[in-house]
Structure 1
Amino acid sequence: MTYKKLAKNLETICAINITPFYKDTKEIDWGGLEENIQFLLKHGTEVIVPNGNTGEFYALTLEEAKQQTRNVVDIVQGRATVVAGVGYSVNTAIELGKDAQEAGADCVMIHQPIHPYVTTDGAISYFKKIIEALDIPSIIYFKDPHLSDDVIKELAPLEKFIGIKYAINDLPRFKKVIREVPEEHNLAWICGTAEKWAPFFYNAGAKGFTSGIINIYPESSFAMLNGLREGDHEMVWKVWEETLDYENLRAKYNNGNNVVVIKESMAEIGMNSGVTREPVNPLNEEDKKEVEEILESWNLLNKVND
């Protein structure tokens, strides 16, 4: 598959799968992971991202991250594009990336560096070294508003750089960088802040968006995607309105609720989600009640995953 074709394949919903952990040991429940991936495939998911933030990437050991990518590739069997999350130091990200390419992943997503001291030129060097060290292509996760969009513009000519998960909710800034990157580079622009922001980013040029909701309510996510593609504004804003409170709840405590709301929701409707690892705690009772109310409004409460 050409890099251009692969980039085009990312113009859809990028499903960030969860990593289920056993309650008592906090070890990975690999059977639960397979259930999650099979659910996504059953509902037509075209892009799956193991080792994303909703998958608690930074709570995994390197060996667990490698194994998760391998397992997801094995389960998917070519039925969806697999984008493996990699990160940490340059050498560690390359190690994870090479393991992912050996496993058969289609491309990697390079997480934003978590080091507290990052400069624009340093970020360019970080991403470039990882991109050039791998045989499979890369997208970058761009979410630090303090970094210049020059990072993207400098990387754009690289052949194996095929897309950006843009997670800075500044629409004029986003539109400006799209206009400044020549179309000949064929980059996939992906809204990295899910259904809440997808309609706005779509109209600014992002033809794909990430989703955690797709793990529990894929019908809603695909209704938004199809509405955006078909110009069905009534459908788009209907989905946006019905998911807004849920996404706001995930964003609570400076996004501390991001993963645990998804896992609690899955558990409420009979899916095997497991618990979260530290530093994320279970939901408090107030937030749990809000989850239940939203699921009830979606007619998902007590639904059994079959």
Structure 2
Amino acid sequence: MNYQQLTEKLGTISGIPITPFKKGSKEIDWSGVKENIEFLVSNHVEVIVPCGNTSEFYALTLQEAKEIIKKTVEYVDGRALVIAGIGYSVPTAIELGNFSKEAGADGTLLHMPIHPYITNEGAVDYFKNIIEAIDLPSVIYFKNPDLNDEILKELVSLEKLVGVKYAINDLPRFAKTVQTLPSDQYHVAWICGTAEKWAPFFSFAGAAGYTSGLVNVYPQKSLELLQALRDNNYSLIWQVWKELLPFENLREKQNSGYNVVVVKEAMEQAGLNAGVPREPVAELQGEDKQAVADLIRRWNLSIKSVIQ
């Protein structure tokens, strides 16, 4: 598969699998990892992104991240693309990227640096040095609104850059960047990085696909939205969007601190293996937990347990 072919294949849903941790020890539940990857693939999710933010990437040790990437490739077994999340310092990201290559991943997702001090020039060097050092195609996770989109203009000419996961909910800004860097001149897939709530708006502005945590619990509904967008079926787009909006709004609470825990709670109530989160987030409680239960009932998904 060449870079252009991979770019085209990114025009879909990028499923970010959760990482199930055991209650008490918070060790990774490896049988749960296998179950959840199989759930995604069997439900026709075509791009799997282990070690994404919804995977609690920054709560993993380097060895755990490597093992998750390796096992994901093994469990997917060629049935979907595997785009492995990498990050931390430049040398560490390169180490993870080279490991991903050896493990058989199809590409890498470069996380936005989490250092509190970052400049536009430094960000260009960060991404460029990692992309050029790894013999895999790469997707940039562009999340920091304080950085300038000129960064992307400096990077799109890199042959191994095949996608940008754009996670800044500024639609005029995004549209302007896409129009400045059209896909017929650059082999880059523009991906909405803020899931189903924002997917229709990003799609109209030029995104070819979007990321999803919802697919861990309700992949059929996310795929319904994707198909409606492809068909320009506007009535269905907004019908599905309204069904999913309460779920995505819950995930945005506490400055998106609920991103992972809402997905995990929904999975557990639907009988799937989500486990507990790791610090710095805690399990869902009280009325928010009940709100998830109400959604699961509304969607007619199975309830594993009664809310106490």
What are the Cα deviations for residues 156-179 of structure 1, in whole angstroms up to 9, with x where unaligned? Answer: 000001110000001110011111
TM-score by length of 2: 0.97
Distance 1:90 1:31 in 2: 32
Name the counterpart of 2:301: 300
Change (3 A) 1:205 1:303: farther
What are the Cα deviations for residues 174-207 of structure 1, in whole angstroms up to 9, with x where unaligned? Answer: 0111111143211000000000000000011101
Query: 5 Å matches for 1:126-141?
Result: 126-141=126-141
Do the aligned residues in 1 keep the contact of 2:296 with 2:303 (CA within 8 Å)? no
Distance 2:238 2:179 in 1: 26
Query: 5 Å matches for 1:171-190?
Result: 171-182=171-182, 183-190=184-191
TM-score by length of 1: 0.98
CA RMSD of aligned residues (A): 1.0
Name the counterpart of 2:103: 103
Query: 2:268 matched to 1:267?
Result: yes
What are the Cα deviations for residues 32-84 of structure 1, in whole angstroms up to 9, with x where unaligned? Answer: 00000000011101000000000000000000000000000000111000000
Distance 1:297 1:47 in 2: 28
Query: 2:210 matched to 1:209?
Result: yes
Name the counterpart of 2:59: 59
Name the counterpart of 1:238: 239
What are the Cα deviations for residues 195-234 of structure 1, in whole angstroms up to 9, with x where unaligned? Answer: 0000000011101000000110011100000000011111
Change (3 A) 1:255 1:291: same
Distance 1:232 1:216 in 2: 24
**1:303 CA displacement:** 6.7
**1:286 CA displacement:** 1.1
Instruction: Give 5+ residue unaligned stretches, structure 2.
Output: none
Give % identity.
Answer: 57
Change (3 A) 1:155 1:29: same
Whichever residue aligns with residue 147 of structure 1, its letter is L
**1:126 CA displacement:** 0.1
Instruction: Give 5+ residue unaligned stretches, structure 1.
Output: none
**Which SS does the other structure have where 2:200 is aligned?**
helix
Name the counterpart of 1:254: 255
**1:301 CA displacement:** 3.5
Distance 1:257 1:159 in 2: 36
Runs of 4+ in 1 over 6 A off after TM superposition: none
Distance 1:203 1:255 in 2: 24
Aligned residues: 304
**Which SS does the other structure have where 2:54 is aligned?**
coil
Query: 2:84 matched to 1:84?
Result: yes
Do the aligned residues in 2 keep the contact of 1:216 with 1:262 (CA within 8 Å)? yes
Whichever residue aligns with residue 254 of structure 1, its letter is N
